Amino acid sequence: MNDAYRPPVTKSDEEWAAELSPLEFKVLRLAGTEAPFTGEYTDTEDEGIYECRGCGAELFRSNEKFHSHCGWPSFFSPLAEDRVRYIDDHSIPGRPRVEVRCAACDGHLGHVFEGEGYDTPTDLRYCINSVSLRLRRG
């Protein structure tokens, strides 16, 4: 992680813990992962904007969501590139990944994968934890 990066929304761990559920804190602040096929938005098809559950930043549109059958909500693109930031993730030996974080509060969202062959405009799969998001319908 780039130590020089400072998100616009900053709170102490105590402040985050008071605002988030234990699972939300584990995922957003500690880069955990919710269990597959358990998230609120895995199969949701409602229209709207997906916001960061930590800070409310708009991250993804429902029309960028697709069914990847991986167990987590999948998107082929963020609402805008400045809404997310990317970090090389080498936490699994032999399987480098790219972590996706909210640019506004630095909350962990999930990972992005490329070249998996999904029929999407970008050939990217943003594999995002439901618990990191809140859908504003409409």
Please give the positions annotated as active site: 127
* C-beta neighbour count of 58 within 10 angstroms: 15
**87 closest CA partner among 70, 71, 66, 103:** 103
6: number of Cβ within 10 Å: 8
3-state secondary structure labels for all residues of 103-130: CCCCCEEEEEEECCCCCCCCCEEEEECH
| Cβ-based burial of 24 (10 A; exposed 0-12, middle 13-18, buried ≥19) | buried
**CA distances (Å), origin 81, targets 26, 33, 78:** 25, 23, 6
